Structure 1
C-alpha cells in the first residue's frame, strides 16, 4: 500500500471517529473507570520504526541516488547533443532544478530516518524511566 493510499485510509477512518455531539470530560457511567476495553489511540512498535529507518537508509536513499545519477547522465548527453541551441540551456536549467529537488528529498529522508530512530529511543527511555520510578516506590505490602 502506497503512502497516498494509506493516508486516504487513515483520513477516512479519522472522519468516522468524529463526533457531532457534545462530550463531557469524563468517562461514561457504564464504564466505571475500568477503561471499558477501548482501543488505544497510540500504537508504537519500535521494531517497525527501526525497520522503516533501515529501509530509508538501505533502499530509498541509495535507489534515489542511482535514479539521480541516471537522469544526470541522460541529461548531460542531451545537453551535448543540443550544444549551441537554446534547448541545451533549458535542459541545464531542468537539471539544476532536478538536482535541488533531489537534495531536498534526500535531506527529508535523512530527517525522517533520524526522527524514527529518535522516537524509538525516546519512547523506550520513557518506559524504562517510568518502570524505575514505579519500582522505587516503597509499599507496606513488601513487609508481609
Structure 2
C-alpha cells in the first residue's frame, strides 16, 4: 500500500459521508494491488538485497562500530581519573558507549535475520505451494470419476 493510498484511507475515515471500504470483493482483472517502487518482490531482487546486506551493510556497520569503539575508548581514557581526579564525562561516555555497542550488536543481528529471511523466502513460498498442492490432491475427488 502506497503512502498516498494510506492518506486517502485516513481521510475517508475522518469523512463521515465517505463510502465505507469493502474488502469482500475480488481483485480487479489483471491482478490485485499495484506494485510498490523499490520493493524487492522477485527472487533475484531478494537475492540482490541479501547480497547487499552481506557485502555492504554488515561489514560497514561492524567497521564503523569498531571505529567508534576506538574513538570513545581514547576519550574515556583522556577524561579518566589522573592523580585521583577525573571528569564526570569519562563515566558518562563509557556508559553511552556500552549502549552504543548493544545497539550495534542488535543492528547486526537484525541485518543477519533480514538477510536470512530474504535468502529463504523463495524456498518457503515453494514449500508452501507444494504443501497446499499435496493437501488439495488428497482431498480432491475429481480424478476418481
TM bracket, shorter-chain basis:
0.5 to 0.7
Map of 1:81 onto structure 2: 78
Q: 2:19 aligns with which of 21, 32, 36?
A: 21
Partner Cα distance (1:69, 1:11) in 2? 37
Q: Does the CA contact (< 8 Å) of 1:50 and 1:116 recur in 2?
A: yes
**Do residues 52 (structure 1) and 44 (structure 2) align?**
no
Partner Cα distance (1:105, 1:99) in 2? 10
Q: Say which structure, 1 or 2, has more relative contact order (CA 8 Å, 6+ apart).
A: 1
Partner Cα distance (2:34, 2:126) in 1? 14
**1:38 Cα deviation after fit:** 4.0
- Cα RMSD over matched residues? 3.2
**Do residues 114 (structure 1) and 139 (structure 2) align?**
no
- Identify if the C-alpha distance between structure 1 residues 114 and 129 changes in structure 2 by more than 3 Å, giving closer, same or farther: same
TM-score of the two chains, using structure 1 as the length reference: 0.67
Pick which of 55-64 and 39-48 moved more: 39-48
Partner Cα distance (2:89, 2:24) in 1? 65
Unaligned runs of 5+ in 1: 1-8, 28-34, 139-144
Q: Counterparts of 1:60-75 in structure 2 under 5 Å?
A: 60-75=57-72
Partner Cα distance (1:97, 1:24) in 2? 45
Partner Cα distance (1:77, 1:12) in 2? 48
How many residue pairs match? The answer is 124
Q: Does the CA contact (< 8 Å) of 1:79 and 1:91 recur in 2?
A: yes
Q: Counterparts of 1:123-142 in structure 2 under 5 Å?
A: 123-127=125-129
Unaligned runs of 5+ in 2: 13-17, 36-40
**1:54 Cα deviation after fit:** 1.1
